[in-house]
Chains A and B, each alone.
Chain A
């Protein structure tokens, strides 16, 4: 079975500092990994994905993620956090055996304080 885990329910960062939101995965076969962000009372917005190729993936709003096969991790990063980055972040893995449904982690609440 494929799964992702987000070990931190909440991450607190000061504005201007780098941020990391952690994600580990468990898959059989090649991992296809995604990060989404959810603002209050809104749907999920796509940030970035890893399919193949470079381990460092760049996405929207200055976010990037590092794929590490040996550690089965796909951590989301940003060099300098903004207060407006405060939101709920979800890591997901795509199930390639039954139509490509996404399997989500439980989410990490990011709080960026001025």
Chain B
């Protein structure tokens, strides 16, 4: 079946501009995560959605970053007044929600190909 898709694959923008990054999760996955990966580093968590609500946004670096998932499927990561330090690969992942009832089930996250953001 179709995996997680992200658009655009590459985005070059000028410092101070606004950008939107889109993520289409795997159908049926209620959990959606955004991560940011800088060169030579492992991905770092930004925000987690369960359904339509942001259940954990503790990884957002500051209030220039915002994300939405209005219908519980597609999510958009929004960055205002971009800075050169925002340049990175932004990864989206989705999974089923973990289940505790009738035995613990922990599901792996499936990642999209990422959006490479370059702020000039």
Seen from chain A, the residues whose Cβ lies within 8 Å of a Cβ on chain B are 32, 34, 36, 41-46, 49, 51-52, 90, 92, 94, 98-107
Seen from chain B, the residues whose Cβ lies within 8 Å of a Cβ on chain A are 4, 31, 33, 35, 40-45, 48, 50, 55-56, 58-59, 91, 93, 95, 98, 104, 106, 108-114
Q: Which residues of B contact A52 (CB under 8 A)?
A: 104
Is A46 in contact with B41, judged by CB distance below 8 angstroms? no
Q: Which residues of B contact A94 (CB under 8 A)?
A: 106
- Take A43-B4, A90-B42 as given contacts and tell me if A34 and B108 are in contact as well, using a CB distance cutoff of 8 Å: yes
Q: Which residues of A contact B43 (CB under 8 A)?
A: 44, 90, 102, 104
Residue ID in chain A nearest B31 by CB atoms: A100
- Of A42, A49, A101, the contact of B33 (CB 8 Å cutoff): A101
Residue ID in chain B nearest A90 by CB atoms: B42
Is B48 in contact with A101, judged by CB distance below 8 angstroms? yes
Q: Which residues of B contact A44 (CB under 8 A)?
A: 43, 91, 93, 111
